[in-house]
Amino acid sequence: MRTALLQSSGRPGSVAGNLKVLDEAAGRAAAAGAGLLVTSELFLTGYAIGDDITALAEPADGDAADAIARTATRHGLAIAYSYPERTDGTVHNSLQLVSADGTRLANYRKTHLFGSFEHEHFTPGDQPVVQAELNGLTVGLLICYDVEFPENARAHALAGTDLLLVPTALMHPFQFVAESVVPVRAFENQMYIAYVNRVGQEDELEFAGLSTLAGPDGVARTRAGRGEELVLADVDPVLLAASRENNPYLRDRRPGLYGPRG
């Protein structure tokens, strides 16, 4: 499945503006043969926008979700987008996957919040593994800081995730996460990882770009630079199956040695 990574910060503070950016990118991705388009973290609203993040939060089935479902249907590709989700008086940093026919397939709430801004504005999720079936692949969802905890990626590997989607707001000086950690996670867990970053300056934060689709061999199939960019690469289930056959990591695990000790 050809997967498009939309490395963009969109229009911080403007949901309508970001929906337009997403629609234009979906058209380009579909024209290039993509079956899936993935955005950066909190693409719908912007990341470093202060208390506006709460004011712009929407439910998973809100107006923006309906608009993105129409975009997916119009262009004939699935879309995974990150947004602030409002539920029963709380706000989550969330990621929703919508199919090419507009069906909402999965919704994930970030479980590991980063920094004072996120802890102040979001409630962490409590479901570590969220998956959906898409075009013959088992697709898993995480957000940014989540993938830096090896337990999260390993939980997805053990649950059979083929392609892990990770929208992110990775900032300087942590670019080594995109360059080194993500490819290693893909290799040690025998999966593809689509890691999609923001770019440019927001408030005091400078985002690092470097979005990548890493394969189960630890090789980046595509790598964006430091600016606004739409990059594409293929997730190959045949290569994935062969890699899993040849790599013994998951088969050679000894879970009995890893539990807590008294």
DSSP 14: -
pLDDT at 219: 97
Report d(CA 256, CA 39) in Å as an integer: 38
The 10s digit of each residue's pLDDT in 43-79 is 999 999 999 999 999 999 999 999 999 999 999 999 9
Listing DSSP states for 155-203 in one string gives HHHHTT-SEEEEE---BTT-THIIIIIHHHHHHHHTSEEEEE--EEEET
Which residues are annotated as catalytic? 41, 110, 144
Vertex 75: Cα angle to 161 and 133 (nearest 5): 20
Check if the beta carbon of residue 72 is closer than 8 Å to that of residue 38.
no
Q: Does the model's pTM come out above 0.95? A: yes
DSSP 98: E
Q: Which stretches of the chain score pLDDT less than 50?
A: 262
pLDDT at 261: 65
Report d(CA 193, CA 8) in Å as an integer: 18
pLDDT at 259: 75
The 10s digit of each residue's pLDDT in 14-49 is 999 999 999 999 999 999 999 999 999 999 999 999
